[in-house]
Amino acid sequence: MSIKTWNTIKDEVYGEKGTPRRDVLDRDFEAFKIGLMLKKAREEKKLTQEELAELVDKNRAYISRIENNGSNITLKTLFEIVEKGLGGKVKISIEL
């Protein structure tokens, strides 16, 4: 039995980078990371989901959904949560 890396498994199961199925996996993972980063930032600010929701005029369930899967967040909402709710700044990069 040989040991495979996560990248090898992704290539074998989802295809190599640039293939449609792999692109979906990578996008979904990036959205998931956004949710985790927002949750971590909220916890570092010692805010509950309810408190953050009030700061950005959203409901707690919406904040929960974003933290568990950031895929349906708009850029406007992302900026509101980070800047207005958490007092931070958003930095976005694009790779070509």
| Every domain of the chain and the residues it spans | 6-85
Q: What is the pLDDT of residue 2?
A: 84
Q: What is the pLDDT of residue 84?
A: 97
Determine the topology of domain 6-85 in CATH. Answer: 434 Repressor (Amino-terminal Domain) (1.10.260)
CA within 13 Å, CB half, 96: 0
Q: Helix 20-44 to helix 60-68 angle, to the nearest 10 degrees? A: 130
The pTM score is 0.81
C-alpha distances in Å from residue 7, one per residue of 16, 41, 68, 76:
9, 28, 24, 33
pLDDT along the chain (96 residues), means of 10: 88 92 91 95 98 97 92 91 97 90
What span, in angstroms and rounded, lies between the C-alpha atoms of 63 and 50? 8
